[in-house]
A and B are shown apart, each in its own frame.
Chain A
Amino acid sequence: MLARRIIPCLDVRDGQVVKGVRFRQHRVMGEIMDLARRYREEHADEVVFYDITASPHGRSVDRSWILRVADVLDIPFCVAGGIRDVAGAEEVLMNGADKISVNSPALADPDLIGELARRFGSQCVVVGIDSSGGNGRWRVHELTGDPSLSREAGRDTLDWVREVQERGAGEIVLNCMNMDGVRQGYDIEQLCAVRESCRVPLIASGGAGAPEHFVEVFRRACVDGALAATVFHSGQIAIPDLKEYLATQKIAVRD
């Protein structure tokens, strides 16, 4: 049986790991390599590196840190942020990343998803979706890395979830913006709705604050993985303790 994945997300800006609350007020959490090593030792199942500055400012970014990360990590990792075309994706994958994640560039040019899937295989292509709403209706947001540019993307979340799968996405990370950074638990209602239309692996993001939140999201929303940042970086939840707790709750985790 597949293990449910515990995935620390490192928001990277200018070579450092930062974390914001509700996508704003970023503060420095540590150095990339230190945190990468720590999560390897703690048996994280995967690590996501999200360059939050890359996409909104329309500039190319220094990718040399990916090689250093690939040298240290013996678990899979995904790079998100600023990947706009096949050449950009290829650079990231050649540097040793296992997956690439696209968000705003896929909204601007949905054909990009298919191009990436045909070139590298669906298993490498993750689509990140920033979404908010409620009462059975959620909307996609774009350019969320920069509060001055962040806006609604004019798409219904469930429609976009279906479309990206048809186009070749191999995994979806659903970032529930209502809950991001406030540690009140994952957005179970939204994740359940998305799970119903999602046949590829689904990763929950936004809202983790306590070990019980992980049990809840795996049990009720049946997601394949749960992503979190602050609670892991700060040491508030240690991944080995979390996995031990999940195992007592009969949730399959890798020891």
Chain B
Amino acid sequence: MRRYRRDTALVDCGGANIASLRFALERLGLEGHFTRDAGRIEAAERVLLPGVGAAGAGMGRLADADLLELIPRLTQPVLGICLGMQLLYEVSSEDDTPCLGVIPGQVDLLEASPEHTIPHMGWNQVQRRAESRLFDGIPDGSWFYFVHSYAAPPGEHCIGDTEHGRRFASVVNKDNFFGVQFHPERSGQRGQRLLKNFLELPWN
């Protein structure tokens, strides 16, 4: 199994359910370290920004750790997962929370209907909107596991989208920042491949 030369930092922005991401990285032969330490995050080869729960609480924890300035300045590959992806946007309408502002746009509540229950919970398909190394070996229309109520519209940095009542951005990329609205660590072999692709992205 491939050894990664340097550290991958998992930013500790709270949420009880983070063990599964650590296990997924271990299955790829990588030891992930949860950290809030700015120096360690800055020095890491790659940064994962996981997170479950509300946007306000997630931003609050990043503020407490003094990471609000640092994260948008990072130059290594950064992957936001679920809430971590939402925090990359400018603002979330969940508690009107200003976010990190890496990606333009606003995160809004999905609309519930009898056919489209909220939270959007379960396996849904990602339709590719642009080529990316993140998708290497992953067929268009593959199924991934989602658990969320808020989502961003498919804007200019959307490279994959998904339909649940309306289409929303399920994969985004701007420069070295990536985001996935689903949980790759809980999405079977496709999710594992996506994480592996992220871990093998070149870092300048």
- Chain A interface (Cβ < 8 Å from any Cβ of B): 1-3, 5, 40, 43, 45, 67, 70-71, 74-76, 90, 93-98, 120-124, 170-171, 199-202, 224-225, 254-255
Size class of the B contact interface (CB-based, 8 Å)? 35 or more
A98 — which chain B residues lie within 8 A by C-beta? 17, 20, 147, 186
Whole-angstrom distance between the alpha carbons of A123 and B181 in the complex?
Answer: 14
Whole-angstrom distance between the alpha carbons of A118 and B101 in the complex?
Answer: 26
Partner of B149, one of A74, A95, A120, A123: A123
Partner of A122, one of B112, B119, B163, B189: B119
Does B185 have its Cβ within 8 Å of any Cβ on chain A? Answer: yes
Does B72 have its Cβ within 8 Å of any Cβ on chain A? Answer: no
A254 — which chain B residues lie within 8 A by C-beta? 123, 143
A74-B27, A120-B16 given; A2·B122 CB < 8 A: yes
Contact between chains at A199 and B117 (CB < 8 Å): yes
Contact between chains at B185 and A200 (CB < 8 Å): no
B192 — which chain A residues lie within 8 A by C-beta? 74
B24 to chain A, nearest CB (A): 7
A43 — which chain B residues lie within 8 A by C-beta? 188
Whole-angstrom distance between the alpha carbons of A124 and B186 in the complex?
Answer: 14
A3 — which chain B residues lie within 8 A by C-beta? 122-124, 143
Secondary structure dominating the interface of B: mixed
Does B118 have its Cβ within 8 Å of any Cβ on chain A? Answer: yes
Does B52 have its Cβ within 8 Å of any Cβ on chain A? Answer: yes
Does B50 have its Cβ within 8 Å of any Cβ on chain A? Answer: no
Contact between chains at B143 and A96 (CB < 8 Å): no
Does B68 have its Cβ within 8 Å of any Cβ on chain A? Answer: no
A14 to chain B, nearest CB (A): 24
Contact between chains at B185 and A74 (CB < 8 Å): yes
Within 8 A of A (CB), among B161-204: 163-164, 183, 185-189, 191-192
What residue of chain A has the Cβ atom nearest to residue B192's Cβ?
Answer: A74
Contact between chains at B121 and A201 (CB < 8 Å): yes
Binary per-residue interface labels of chain B (152-166) against chain A in the complex, 1 for a CB within 8 Å, 0 otherwise: 000000000001100
Contact between chains at B117 and A224 (CB < 8 Å): yes
Within 8 A of A (CB), among B6-28: 16-17, 19-20, 23-24, 26-27
Contact between chains at A123 and B147 (CB < 8 Å): yes
A2-B120, A170-B119, A199-B118 given; A74·B186 CB < 8 A: yes
Partner of A123, one of B20, B119, B185: B119
B40 — which chain A residues lie within 8 A by C-beta? none
A140 to chain B, nearest CB (A): 21
Whole-angstrom distance between the alpha carbons of A200 and B17 in the complex?
Answer: 21
A75-B188, A76-B186 given; A70·B118 CB < 8 A: no
B52 — which chain A residues lie within 8 A by C-beta? 120-121, 123-124
Task: Report 26 cross-chain contacts, Cβ distance below 8 Å, ordered by A residue.
Answer: A1-B124, A2-B122, A2-B123, A43-B188, A45-B122, A71-B26, A74-B192, A75-B145, A90-B16, A93-B16, A94-B17, A98-B147, A98-B186, A120-B16, A120-B53, A121-B53, A122-B149, A124-B16, A124-B52, A199-B112, A199-B117, A201-B119, A201-B121, A201-B122, A254-B123, A254-B143
Whole-angstrom distance between the alpha carbons of A122 and B118 in the complex?
Answer: 10
A46 to chain B, nearest CB (A): 8
A200 — which chain B residues lie within 8 A by C-beta? 117-119
What residue of chain A has the Cβ atom nearest to residue B115's Cβ?
Answer: A222
Within 8 A of A (CB), among B73-120: 112, 114, 117-120
Sample of 7 further A-B pairs with CB below 8 A, known A2-B120, A96-B19, A200-B117:
A2-B124, A3-B123, A5-B123, A74-B189, A76-B145, A199-B114, A224-B122
A5 — which chain B residues lie within 8 A by C-beta? 122-123
A75-B145, A75-B188 given; A123·B121 CB < 8 A: yes
A214 to chain B, nearest CB (A): 16
A90 — which chain B residues lie within 8 A by C-beta? 16
Does B65 have its Cβ within 8 Å of any Cβ on chain A? Answer: no
Partner of B19, one of A70, A75, A171: A70
Closest 9 CB pairs of A and B: A96-B19, A93-B16, A254-B143, A3-B123, A254-B123, A123-B119, A123-B147, A76-B186, A2-B122
